[in-house]
Amino acid sequence: MTVPNITRMHETNMTSTRRFSLHTFLLVALFGLSGVAAAQDPIKIAFIDPLSGSFASIGNSGLKQVQFAAEYFYNSKGGVLGGRKLEIVPLDNKQSPTDTQIQFRRAVSEDIRIIFQGNSSAVANTLNATISRHNRRNPGQEVLQINYSAVDPILTEEECSFWHFRFDAHAIMKLNTLTDYIAMNPDIKKVYVIGQDYSFGHVVADNSVRLLKEKRPDIEIVGTEFHPIGQVKDFTPYVTKIVSSGADAVITGNYGADMVSLAKSIIDSGLNVPIYTFYAVYDGITATLGEGGKDRIFLVHNETSNPIPTEERKQFLRAFKAENPNFDVTQPRIINALQMVVAAIEKTKSTDPYDIALALEDMRFTNLSGEEMWMRGTDHQIFQSLHISMHTDEGIEFDADNSGYGLRTIFNVPAEETVVPTSCKMDRPRR
């Protein structure tokens, strides 16, 4: 059935979620709408990410991107499966595992079977466990988890699940690329690793030490340091330690305010060494680092930044910017994920999560940048070329935070070289 006053998707998320089963029920009862052709039903996709609270800027920016992509690629062109619109239902989890579970139950309650989620591996891990349990206990009501950003390797290793697909390179893949790049630079002799004291920070530290040892035995790790997340007021004491260790490069997995504060303290101390990061861009970070971070903040990520390789993607970026002047396309992988999920729906002519999952397995797909991506069937991990980019204001066609600064890609690793083995032993449901 269709509720007549469903609002257009790019209106506020207030309106697009204002739907309760009771509400729907009343409308159906009053107007007898249940007979409307099923072909016109929207395909609902839940977007569970922080939309309020301190992490909301990341969640809201992701929401804008997925909503825009749904509109741009499908809804404005007549929809999917012969006329069905995509409807992105934003559900706010406040980046809390508990609220994620609450919103997951809401999604199930509204019969939404596809869930996009990206922020925080802790949330992704608990959602993964929740969905596995739910799907096992409620056959016929399965739900699919589309993870577009959580990089904890465990999700495609020990904890891998048939119902989970990751559209971002995991931490070790990214570190492979990062250490390849560092190993190429003969000037780097001493490396300092600093990170937040939680699983991702430890994964980054352990693996960068291991990989550097393999690739460049002459590089000395002069320090590994962990600090509590979001508790450090001033990073200068840490930087003092970095300076006195004689490091000529710093690796960090920090994100958010911890990333900015660390980078600012390093810049302020006059320590002129490259900083290799995962998340030092967008959401105000680029603008804050500005001139001080120029040519020394490096980032590993999975889609080229400037120069943008294809006209197709440039058009998309411009159209996005025209509609959302205060936002950037910070995570092209959300768009990749959406496109691949829709490709799977179109291929199987079904919106059943089981069919979509089977179609996604080993799917090869050419993304907006003209790169081929491969979703490995054994562990549901995406493989695409990985890149190192630099924070600068030269040669930037598409900047970040409207600051004039942005990322310029300087190093590429083709998709086939990013493939890593997996220990995943997947429980495959039978139908």
Q: For another protein, which is the closer residue by CB, 91 or 114?
A: 91
**Count, residues near another protein per rule CB under 8 A:** 81
Looking only at residues 41 through 60 of this chain, which bind another protein when binding is defined by CB under 8 A?
51-54, 56-57, 60
Q: 82 — phi, psi (to 5°)?
A: 65, 50
Q: Are 297 and 260 in contact (CB under 8 A)?
A: no
Q: For another protein, which is the closer residue by CB, 94 or 380?
A: 94
Determine the Cα–Cα distance for residues 179 and 169; give it in Å rounded to an integer.
15
Residue whose C-alpha is closest to residue 49's, from 104, 128, 109: 104
Q: Are 225 and 201 in contact (CB under 8 A)?
A: no
Interface with another protein by CB under 8 A: which range of 13-21, 30-38, 212-220, 293-301?
Answer: 13-21
Q: For another protein, which is the closer residue by CB, 58 or 173?
A: 58
Q: How far is the CB of 356 from another protein (least distance, A)?
A: 21
Binding mask 181-210 for another protein (x = CB under 8 A): ----------------xxx-----------
Which helix or strand (DSSP H or E) is residue 156 part of? none
The β-bridge relationship of strands 406-413 and 386-392 is antiparallel
DSSP tag of 77 = G
Q: Are 337 and 70 in contact (CB under 8 A)?
A: no
Residue whose C-alpha is closest to residue 256's, from 68, 58, 13, 32: 58
CA-to-CA separations, 193 to 27, 94, 202, 227, 246, in angstroms, rounded: 58, 30, 10, 11, 13
| 79 Cβ neighbours under 8 A, 6+ residues apart | 85, 86
Determine the Cα–Cα distance for residues 272 and 292; give it in Å rounded to an integer.
10
DSSP tag of 245 = H
Structure tokens at 79: 């929809």
Q: How far is the CB of 309 from another protein (least distance, A)?
A: 28
Helices (H) and strands (E) in the chain, counts: 13, 15
Residue whose C-alpha is closest to residue 103's, from 64, 70, 59, 68: 59
Looking only at residues 352 through 371 of this chain, which bind another protein when binding is defined by CB under 8 A?
none
Q: For another protein, which is the closer residue by CB, 69 or 285?
A: 285
Q: How far is the CB of 4 from another protein (least distance, A)?
A: 13
Q: How far is the CB of 7 from another protein (least distance, A)?
A: 6
Q: For another protein, which is the closer residue by CB, 91 or 415?
A: 91
Q: How far is the CB of 26 from another protein (least distance, A)?
A: 13
Q: How far is the CB of 256 from another protein (least distance, A)?
A: 8
Q: How far is the CB of 20 from another protein (least distance, A)?
A: 8
Structure tokens at 236: 């200068």
Looking only at residues 61 through 100 of this chain, which bind another protein when binding is defined by CB under 8 A?
91-92, 94, 96-99
Q: How far is the CB of 123 from another protein (least distance, A)?
A: 9
Looking only at residues 99 through 138 of this chain, which bind another protein when binding is defined by CB under 8 A?
99, 101-102, 105-106, 108-110, 120-122, 125-126, 129-130, 133, 137
Looking only at residues 246 through 275 of this chain, which bind another protein when binding is defined by CB under 8 A?
257, 260-261, 264-265, 268-271
Q: Are 182 and 188 in contact (CB under 8 A)?
A: yes
Binding mask 307-346 for another protein (x = CB under 8 A): -------------------x--------------------
Looking only at residues 226 through 245 of this chain, which bind another protein when binding is defined by CB under 8 A?
226-234, 236-238, 240-241, 243-244
Interface with another protein by CB under 8 A: which range of 206-214, 223-231, 331-339, 352-360?
Answer: 223-231
Q: How far is the CB of 271 from another protein (least distance, A)?
A: 7
- N-to-C CA span, the chain: 28
Determine the Cα–Cα distance for residues 99 and 270; give it in Å rounded to an integer.
43
Q: For another protein, which is the closer residue by CB, 133 or 364?
A: 133
Q: For another protein, which is the closer residue by CB, 107 or 308?
A: 107
Structure tokens at 360: 């996604």
